A and B are shown apart, each in its own frame.
Chain A
Amino acid sequence: MTGESLEQIAARRQAAREAQRCRISVCSGLGCESVGGEAVLSRIRERMEAEGLAGATEVYPTGCRGLCQRGPIVEVEWKEGGAARNHLYLDVDAERADRLALSHAREGGPPADLPSHAGDPFFTRQTKIVLANAGAIDPEEIESCIAAGAYSALEKALTDMTPADVIQEITRSGLRGRGGGGYPTGLKWSTVAKEQGAKKFVVCNGDEGDPGAFMDRSVLEGDPHEVLEGMAIAAYAVGAEQGYVYVRAEYPLAIKRLRAAIKQAERQNLLGSHILDTAFNFRVDVRTGAGAFVCGEETALIASIEGNRGTPRPRPPYPATSGLWGHPTLINNVETLANVPAIVRNGSAWFAGIGTEKSKGTKVFALAGQIKNTGLIEVPMGITLREIIFEIGGGIPEGRRFKAAQTGGPSGGCIPARFLDLPVDYESLQQVGTIMGSGGLIVMDESSCMVDVARFFVEFCREESCGKCIPCRSGTVQIHSILDRITRGRGELADLDRLGELADLLRSTSLCGLGQTAPNPVVSTIRYFREEYLAHVVERRCPAGVCTMSAGAAAERSARAHEGVTP
Chain B
Amino acid sequence: MSAEQAVTTPKGGDKRLKMLDAAMRRQQFQPDALLEVLHAAQELYGFLAPEVLLHIGRSLKVPPSRVYGVATFYNHFTLKPKGEHTCTVCMGTACYVKGAGEIHEALRKEFQLAKGQTTTEDGKLSVVVARCVGACGIAPALVYDHEMVGGLTPESAVARARRWGP
CB contacts under 8 Å to B, within A214-252, are 214, 217, 249-252
Chain B residue at smallest Cβ distance from A567: B162
Chain A residue at smallest Cβ distance from B71: A290
Give CA–CA (A210, B132) in the complex, Å.
8
Asked if A267 lies at the interface with its beta carbon under 8 angstroms from chain B, I say no
Residues of A within 8 A of B110 (CB): 565
User: Of B92, B139, B155, which one neighbours A565 at CB under 8 angstroms?
Assistant: B155
**Residue contact B75 to A31, C-beta cutoff 8 Å:** no
In the complex where A306-B32, A307-B31, A368-B139 touch, is A217 in contact with B134 (Cβ < 8 A)? yes
Kindly provide the distance from the CB of A564 to the nearest chain B CB, expressed in whole angstroms.
Answer: 6
User: Of B62, B73, B150, which one neighbours A35 at CB under 8 angstroms?
Assistant: B150
Interface string of A359-373 (1 = CB under 8 A from B): 000000011111000
Kindly provide the distance from the CB of B36 to the nearest chain A CB, expressed in whole angstroms.
Answer: 7
**Residue contact B139 to A564, C-beta cutoff 8 Å:** no
In the complex where A69-B137, A210-B132 touch, is A31 in contact with B150 (Cβ < 8 A)? yes
**Residue contact A212 to B94, C-beta cutoff 8 Å:** yes
In the complex where A291-B131, A444-B97 touch, is A565 in contact with B39 (Cβ < 8 A)? no
Chain A residue at smallest Cβ distance from B38: A290
Q: Which of A's residues lie within 8 Å of B, judged by CB? A: 30-31, 33-35, 67-69, 71, 208-214, 217, 249-252, 287-293, 304-310, 366-370, 374-376, 406, 409, 440, 442, 444, 448, 453, 456-457, 460, 464, 466, 558, 561-562, 564-565, 567
**Residue contact B102 to A212, C-beta cutoff 8 Å:** no
Chain B residue at smallest Cβ distance from A251: B134
**Residue contact B76 to A291, C-beta cutoff 8 Å:** yes
**Residue contact A565 to B131, C-beta cutoff 8 Å:** no
**Residue contact A558 to B105, C-beta cutoff 8 Å:** yes
Kindly provide the distance from the CB of B28 to the nearest chain A CB, expressed in whole angstroms.
Answer: 12
Give CA–CA (A567, B34) in the complex, Å.
46
List of 9 A-B pairs having minimum Cβ-Cβ separation, nearest first: A68-B137, A212-B93, A368-B94, A290-B74, A291-B75, A211-B92, A214-B134, A211-B132, A307-B34
Chain B residue at smallest Cβ distance from A558: B105
**Residue contact B35 to A287, C-beta cutoff 8 Å:** yes
In the complex where A288-B35, A290-B75 touch, is A562 in contact with B109 (Cβ < 8 A)? yes
Residues of B within 8 A of A217 (CB): 134
Q: Interface extent on B, as a size class?
A: 35 or more
In the complex where A288-B36, A366-B136, A369-B97 touch, is A309 in contact with B106 (Cβ < 8 A)? no
Asked if B154 lies at the interface with its beta carbon under 8 angstroms from chain A, I say yes
**Residue contact A374 to B35, C-beta cutoff 8 Å:** no
Residues of B within 8 A of A35 (CB): 138, 150
**Residue contact B131 to A374, C-beta cutoff 8 Å:** no
Kindly provide the distance from the CB of B88 to the nearest chain A CB, expressed in whole angstroms.
Answer: 9
**Residue contact B138 to A374, C-beta cutoff 8 Å:** yes
User: Of B32, B33, B137, which one neighbours A374 at CB under 8 angstroms?
Assistant: B137
Chain B residue at smallest Cβ distance from A566: B110
Interface string of B32-48 (1 = CB under 8 A from A): 11111011000000000
**Residue contact B73 to A292, C-beta cutoff 8 Å:** yes
**Residue contact B158 to A214, C-beta cutoff 8 Å:** no
Kindly provide the distance from the CB of A268 to the nearest chain B CB, expressed in whole angstroms.
Answer: 23
Give CA–CA (A369, B92) in the complex, Å.
10
